[in-house]
Amino acid sequence: MEKAQLRTDLQKGVRSITASQRAEKSYKACRNIIQTPEFRKAGTVMAYLALPDEVDTHEVILAGWQQEKLICAPKISWQQRHMIPVRIDTLETEFSTDVANLPNPVEGAPVPFGEIDLIIVPGLGFDKDGNRLGRGGSYYDRFLSNREIRAVRCGLCFDRQLIDCVPTKHYDEPMDMVVTDERVIRCEREK
């Protein structure tokens, strides 16, 4: 199946999850990440700020602050088509939502790529090998291709977003692990 059709099918499936189910499943998925050794060991965690149909990462962010971790989020430059990690110290800070309804930090100190220990990545779908189907903008693929990044890459999704096989291209960046509301999958990949 082609990526465009997969995106359509996965978006339909995610939209069928009710708000209360999404909140419960997001909580479970976040608890699953928080209990991993990768999260416990991380001093700096980069977590995405969720769109309405994605796993809400607030629980992971709050747990990180409680454990005195540095938390950063992607700041998107729409004109330059890239993102940089910026430190966030509160979820009350100003976020713009002017493009695609995506929460984007208005300010925050940039965090060097090499200092990030764990990157939590959204996706429309993942497979058990860590391949990711994004929304088609390649922001995360470009970001993760940076040679300074040594962080563990953790895909986060609802369990129903796991599929048998994500079609990939040479520029697609795989995950080291995929976490859902039901499981933690560690992926084998070449470093």
Q: Is the pLDDT of residue 104 over 90?
A: no
Q: Is 17 part of a structural domain of the chain?
A: yes
Q: Is 38 part of a structural domain of the chain?
A: yes
Percentage with pLDDT > 70 across the chain = 96
- So what's the pLDDT on residue 17? 93
Residue labelled with tokens 């953790």: 154
pTM of the complete model:
0.94
- So what's the pLDDT on residue 110? 96
pLDDT-derived band at 3 (thresholds 50, 70, 90) equals confident
Q: Is 135 part of a structural domain of the chain?
A: yes
Token pair for 95: 């976020």
Residue type, 133: L
Give 68 or 138, the one with higher predicted confidence.
68
How many whole angstroms separate alpha carbon 171 and alpha carbon 17? 31
Percentage with pLDDT > 90 across the chain = 71
Strand ranges (DSSP E) for 68-151?
A: 70-77, 82-87, 95-96, 104-105, 118-121, 125-126, 132-133
Q: Is 158 part of a structural domain of the chain?
A: yes
Q: Is 191 part of a structural domain of the chain?
A: no
Residue 117: give its domain's CATH number. Answer: 3.40.50.10420
pLDDT-derived band at 107 (thresholds 50, 70, 90) equals confident
- So what's the pLDDT on residue 116? 98
pLDDT-derived band at 189 (thresholds 50, 70, 90) equals low
Residue labelled with tokens 């922001």: 139
> CB count, 10 Å around CB of 53?
16
Q: Is the pLDDT of residue 148 over 80?
A: yes
Query: How many Cα atoms sit within 13 Å of 148 on the Cβ side?
Result: 10
Query: What is the domain range of residue 43?
Result: 3-186
Domain count for the chain: 1
- So what's the pLDDT on residue 190? 54
pLDDT tens, position by position, 29-87: 999 999 999 999 999 999 999 998 999 999 999 999 999 999 999 998 877 888 999 99
What is the chain's length?
191
Residue labelled with tokens 């992971």: 60
How many whole angstroms separate alpha carbon 17 and alpha carbon 188? 30
How many whole angstroms separate alpha carbon 169 and alpha carbon 71? 31
- So what's the pLDDT on residue 174? 95
pLDDT-derived band at 191 (thresholds 50, 70, 90) equals very low
The pLDDT mean for the chain works out to 92
Q: Is 86 part of a structural domain of the chain?
A: yes
- So what's the pLDDT on residue 164? 93
- So what's the pLDDT on residue 1? 61
